[in-house]
Amino acid sequence: MESTQNKTRCPHSKKCGGCQLQNLDYKEQLAHKERTCIRLLGKFCRVEPIIGMENPYHYRNKVQAAFGTTRAGRIISGIYQSSTHNIVAVDSCMTEDEIADRIIVDIRRLLRNFKMTTYNEVTGRGFLRHVLVKRGFQTGEVMVVLVTGTPIFPARNNFTRALLKLHPEITTIIQNVNDRYTSMLLGQNEKTLYGPGYITDILCGLRFRISAKSFYQINPVQTEVLYGKAMEFAELTGKETVIDAYCGIGTIGMVAAKKAGQVLGVEVNRDAVRDARENAKLNRVKNIRFVCADAGNFMVDMANAGEHCDVLFMDPPRTGSDTAFLSCALTLAPRRIVYVSCNPETLARDLNFLTKRGYRAEKIQPVDMFPHTDHVECVVRLDKMN
């Protein structure tokens, strides 16, 4: 009988805790996720077989590493041990982009060469806290964000030059200052040290600009599968008024705009909305506009103004949506809701609300966006009952 152990079992797994399913082979992981979806969502309608990846390794286009110094004075970089601020030294990870991992290792080496320090969260002293790397898998463009505890960057130009010499594939370098005692990775202030301050990537045939603080799906291969299902479920004919709620940089709305009358995107993150507006221009999409607002407040305003919507796409964060949003969605009464979710538990809660108030779940499609972890993405089609 074939072993159920994953052949590339990770040496850091016990301390890191990020890949909860890495001891199962990939087929078993998919079966496990499918069972979770059926347990949580099966009461709403049939759950389709999960769509997995052909190559479920190094799929993450966004990699972040915490930097610190051991008691012996050695600089380390890696991942926080789950639920702690202890850094587990990791140079490569089976889920992360390999180019991004190599850049982070070289930044660590450069710190030593430049005699630069790492930030100490307890004393509030020191320089480098985190490094964030984002790579456009289609374009090859690479963003490096150096998150520092202080705005003062002594050897800035020489450091930037040395990094670019080692990694000419880097297209932009940003310094982000985060001097607060917080678990948030990025601070408010950022300064572009090299390049345009953003990268672009191509998804579903469209080009998207991505800033440091904007959300972009971390597995672009499966995102195309996910969005493909979302569009299939929406069954747009070219005439509809569509809302893309929690729209990020406008990806779902822009794909939908090709087949809709008009699209309105709403997103709370200002940088993401700026990206979304630029993305509409970049792709010459004229039938879309974006509003920077809390999605719940936006829906209340839409409902109060008696606005109309045929199809509502919603893709909230892991916490799911809220009652203000869902109640006003009922008032707007779109004939179809396409709900994209990265958390089947909050999805079940929100489906419970909607299916008790006039909507029926017609299709549920799990997509594996996060191999080796226990996270699973789903797209659901809900139709309004007459």
Task: Cite the annotated binding site for S-adenosyl-L-methionine by residue number.
Answer: 217, 246, 267, 315
> Among residues 42, 124, 154, 317, which is the contact residue for ligand SAM, using CB under 6 A?
317
Residue 64 or 160: which CB sits closer to ligand SAM? Answer: 64
Q: Rule CB under 6 A: which of 240-279 touch ligand SAM?
A: 246-248, 251-252, 266-269, 272
Minimal distance, residue 245 CB to ligand SAM, in Å: 7
Cα gap 133→60, rounded to integer Å: 10
Minimal distance, residue 215 CB to ligand SAM, in Å: 4
Strand partners, 201: 208
Residue 215 or 339: which CB sits closer to ligand SAM? Answer: 215
264-277 burial, b for 16+ CB within 10 Å, e for fewer? bbbbbbebbbbbbb
**By the rule CB under 6 A, 323 interacts with ligand SAM:** no
C-alpha distances out from residue 385 to 2, 306, 307, 330, Å:
47, 20, 20, 12
Residue 147 or 252: which CB sits closer to ligand SAM? Answer: 252
Cα gap 198→134, rounded to integer Å: 9
**By the rule CB under 6 A, 215 interacts with ligand SAM:** yes
Gyration radius of the chain's alpha carbons: 22
Per the annotation, the verdict on 328 as an active-site residue is: no
Minimal distance, residue 355 CB to ligand SAM, in Å: 22
Question: Max CA-CA distance within the chain?
Answer: 69
Cα gap 298→355, rounded to integer Å: 22
Minimal distance, residue 378 CB to ligand SAM, in Å: 12
Cα gap 329→337, rounded to integer Å: 9
Contacts of 223 (CB under 8 A, 6+ apart): 203, 217, 251, 369
**By the rule CB under 6 A, 315 interacts with ligand SAM:** yes
> Among residues 28, 91, 294, 301, which is the contact residue for ligand SAM, using CB under 6 A?
294
User: Of residues 247, 328, 342, 378, which has the active-site annotation?
Assistant: 342
Residues that bind ligand SAM (CB under 6 A): 215-217, 246-248, 251-252, 266-269, 272, 294-295, 315-317, 342
Q: Which residues are catalytically annotated? A: 342
